Amino acid sequence: MSLPSNPVLKFFTSLKLTVVLLVLSIVLVFCATLNQVQLGVWGVQAKWFRSFFVWHDFNGVLFPVFPGGFLLGVMLLINLITSHVFRFKLSWKKLGITITHAGLILLLIGEFVTAIYQEEFQMRMDEGETKNYSESPRFVELAVTDITGPEWDQVVAIPAAHLKSPAAIQRPELPFTLKPLAYYPNTVLQMKTQAPTAPESGADRDIGARLAVTPVPLTYKDNERNLPSVLVELNGAGGSLGKWLLSPWLMDSQRFDYEGRTYELSLRFKREYKPFTLQLLDFTHDRYPGTEIPKNFSSKLRLINPQTGEDRQVLVYMNNPLRYQGLTFYQQGFDNNDTTTILQVVRNPGWLIPYISCLMLTLGLFIQFGISLYGFTQRRSAKLAAVKV
């Protein structure tokens, strides 16, 4: 082992730094686990793991209170790589450690890739229903659909992030601008007649004029969704076209005509369209006899891809997802008395990395501890032999 003399290198290659980082990681994981009770798994990931610092709100002022998962991960990576470059000498005796650490580096990189590139969607389908898109479980978008042409619709989708600032949104495809007047991240909508005391929505077009909007706190529970609402004003060249209230609460899009064309407005969970369709043929949910313990859920699907000419049946069930075109469809849940399936749709380009790193880590540790154990037994038997003599 050669020790670097440069103080910066000395710091980054030191074993003490490794230990400190590992201890900080344990504390991070522990605190994040506890925090999961309040924040839910997504909140915890954003706050503790997929961040450089963990920020805490002290009376409205945010302070970094702990290094986040990204920072610790990067530091560990630097520590590992510099140690191997500057401190460790390659030797057969250290082969196991080298392989283990290489596996670890790969695992960390894999987690970064996942953190950045993994996308998760959901597909809810009633029995018989066909869909060619999946929806984000958490992010919404404002969709303006031009349905004038009988052949096809033109959709302009505006992500929720743009709706949070009051700046008017102008798009070349649209002859009007959209000005978000108010955005509520989670709401309850009621008819005014049912909730006379609730604040008015402010909308003057379509159903929104008859609705009351009550903002509610964000939920972090795994089985609940935040349902936002937005109040938008549309402005054409000749002035205001009116104010609409949009929300995923509203099942139907709101339709209007302008300059001879017909448009539909909706705030919906962000969609990702696919070049193929899936139809839910049948959903089954078996329970163990005489109990409510789920034995198995499965969705029988029909996959049709006009581009490749595929038309086949697939069965998705627990521990047996459908992998297709870089997407994986998992059986996540069900609804409506076992007639609706909820599939989780995941795209993770880094999915293979953990498999490789797992192999490397296992191999590395086996070699390392195997060498030690062999040496130990050799010494031991020599010792015992000596005692007997």
Partner 1 sequence: MKRILPLIILVLGAVYFGSSLRPHHPGGDFHLSEFGELPVLVGGRIKPLDTVARTSLLQMQESQTVRTAGRTLEPIEWFTLLVFDPAKADALQTFKVVNTEVQSLMQINPEEGGAQKRFSFDQLRAHIPDLEKQVQLAGPVEAKQRTAFQSAAMQLYGNLTTYQQLKYSLQDPESPDFLADIREFETSIDKGVAAVRAQVEGKPHDKAAADAVLSLARRFQFIGDFGKLLVIPPPPGAPDSLAWKKVGESLLGSFENDGVDPAVLAWAGLGHSWRNGQAVEFNEIVKLYRAQLSRGYGEALTKTDIETRFNAAAPFYTSMALYVGAFILAICSWLRWPVALGRSAAYLLTLAAITTTLGIAARMWLEGRPPVTNLYSSAVFIGWAAVLLCLALEFFYRNAIASAAAGLIGFCTLLIAHHLSLSGDTLEMMRAVLDSNFWLATHVIVVTIGYSATFVAGALAILYVVLGVFTKVLTQPVAKTLTGMVYGIVCFATLFSLVGTILGGIWADQSWGRFWGWDPKENGALMIVLWNAIILHCRWGGLVKQRGLMNLAIFGNVITGWSWFGTNLLGVGLHSYGFTENGAKVLGAFMVANLVLIGLTFIPREKWVSSTTAESGD
Using CB under 8 A, list all residues that contact partner 1.
15-16, 18-19, 22-23, 25-26, 29-30, 32-34, 36-37, 40-41, 44-45, 49, 107, 110-111, 114, 118, 120, 222, 287-291, 293-297, 318-319, 321, 328, 330, 332, 344, 346, 348, 351, 354-355, 357-358, 361-362, 365-366, 369, 372-373, 376-377, 380
The distance between the two most distant Cα atoms of the chain, rounded to a whole number of Å, is 108
In the bound complex, what is the minimum distance in angstroms from residue 264's beta carbon to partner 1?
32
Of 37 and 389, the one with the shorter C-beta distance to partner 1 is: 37
Q: How many CA atoms lie within 13 A of 328 on its CB side?
A: 17
Q: Count other Cβ atoms within 10 Å, centred on residue 248.
A: 18
Of 28 and 163, the one with the shorter C-beta distance to partner 1 is: 28
DSSP-derived letter for residue 244 is E
Of 14 and 279, the one with the shorter C-beta distance to partner 1 is: 14
In the bound complex, what is the minimum distance in angstroms from residue 133's beta carbon to partner 1?
18
Of 12 and 244, the one with the shorter C-beta distance to partner 1 is: 12
Of 200 and 286, the one with the shorter C-beta distance to partner 1 is: 286
CB 282, CB 302: distance < 8 Å: no
Of 72 and 203, the one with the shorter C-beta distance to partner 1 is: 72
In the bound complex, what is the minimum distance in angstroms from residue 161's beta carbon to partner 1?
24
Helix axes 69-82, 15-44, angle to 10 degrees: 150
The residue written with tokens 């005692």 in the block is 387
In the bound complex, what is the minimum distance in angstroms from residue 15's beta carbon to partner 1?
3
- CB crowding 13-22: b at 16 or more within 10 Å, else e: bbeebeeebe
How far apart CA 262 and CA 75 sit, in angstroms, is: 55
In the bound complex, what is the minimum distance in angstroms from residue 238's beta carbon to partner 1?
50
Q: Count other Cβ atoms within 10 Å, centred on residue 322.
A: 19
Of 196 and 290, the one with the shorter C-beta distance to partner 1 is: 290
Of 158 and 361, the one with the shorter C-beta distance to partner 1 is: 361
Q: Which of 73, 81, 160, 64 is nearest to 116 (CA)?
A: 73
DSSP-derived letter for residue 200 is B
In the bound complex, what is the minimum distance in angstroms from residue 297's beta carbon to partner 1?
6
In the bound complex, what is the minimum distance in angstroms from residue 308's beta carbon to partner 1?
23
Length of the chain measured in residues:
389
DSSP-derived letter for residue 291 is S
In the bound complex, what is the minimum distance in angstroms from residue 159's beta carbon to partner 1?
23
Q: Which of 178, 182, 192, 193 is nearest to 242 (CA)?
A: 178
